[in-house]
Amino acid sequence: MSRTKVDLKDPAFAAFLAFLVPGLGHFYQRRMFKALLYSACILGTFFTGLRIGHGQVVYFHWKQADNRTYAYLCQVWAGLPALPALAQSHLLRSKEAFDANYVSNEFSGPFQGNLLDAKGNVIGEISGTVEIRPDRNETANNRPAWSGTIRGTLKTPAGTRNIEGEVRRGGDHERWVLDPAVAPWPVRRVFGRFDETSDGGGAPVRGRIEGGIPRSLWDSYEAPLQDPRPSDSGSDASDLDRAHRELGGRFELGVVYTMIAGLLNILAIYDAYEGPAYEDEEDDEKTDTPPPDAGPEKT
């Protein structure tokens, strides 16, 4: 049965496009059905796995032999959706970006969290804005300390009122921690000591702040899990331990999904470069088919 020969155009360029974005190489070759099929299946599988793993299952580590992410060798073949992990792995980032409690420059953002008393009981919910700045007049565990100002509203059972106060790390309390600037969680946690400075019409509120600041997509997408956890993070558990604790079996399931997506795209890249497999099959059939019978010999 004769088949229409596929015009592969520039196969090498098509394969490169297929690597960058699943299906793009086939779109370049005007093979629309396969372009849509590969794009939907491979990208759908990859982002489903990323969603199952809460964005924490695709990252790249290679320096530490006992913590190398061999799964990424499969995930990277998904192309552009997986490539930011290379940029996040200390290639375009300073080492300090992964250190807890390190603040190089002042920054601000929306804040949402709880205010607790000395016994750990929740006084109320705070929402507003926070400004964090390096505090070089103090040191904490031989690293630059930080301090900040929170302005917003305090919601308690007695009602809601405006509040403003200073928050700082200070001391060696294990819960006085500012998360690293770069991490695969959407919120940068802030745990610190809080002292109200505004006039609330009564005794100033003091206690402990536990909340967070939203991270930008650039600071969270495919950012690496730190293992082991830095000594100044206030916890003995690594980021990898935390991810497994929060996600359970979903972590491994997300890894498998994203690995499968990368491996599937290898087949798509090959198809963009070599074309449909049936062409080789037809060549084999033509070689193996004996010539037609020339008819009886004339005597």
**Residues 227-246: what's their mean pLDDT?**
69
For residue 166, which phi and psi values (nearest 5 degrees)?
-95, 140
- pLDDT at residue 229, as a whole number: 53
Q: Where are the domains of the chain?
A: 11-82+251-280, 95-221
What average pLDDT does this structure show over 122-130?
A: 94
Q: Which residue has the higher pLDDT, 125 or 280?
A: 125
**pLDDT exceeds cutoff 60 at 280:** no
pLDDT of residue 201: 60
If one compares 249 and 141, the residue with the highest pLDDT of the two is 249
Closest residue by Cα to residue 219 from 39, 87, 49, 123: 87
Backbone angles phi, psi at 196, to 5 degrees: -70, 135
pLDDT at 174: 53
Question: What pLDDT was estimated at residue 212?
Answer: 94
CB 85 within 8 A of CB 60: yes
Q: What is the pLDDT of residue 92?
A: 74
Among candidates 7, 47, 40, which has minimal Cα distance to 272?
Answer: 7
Res 209 pLDDT > 60: yes
Q: In whole angstroms, what is the distance from residue 280 CA to residue 290 CA?
A: 18
* Overall pTM surpassing 0.95 (yes/no): no
Identify the band that residue 284 occupies on the pLDDT scale cut at 50, 70 and 90: low
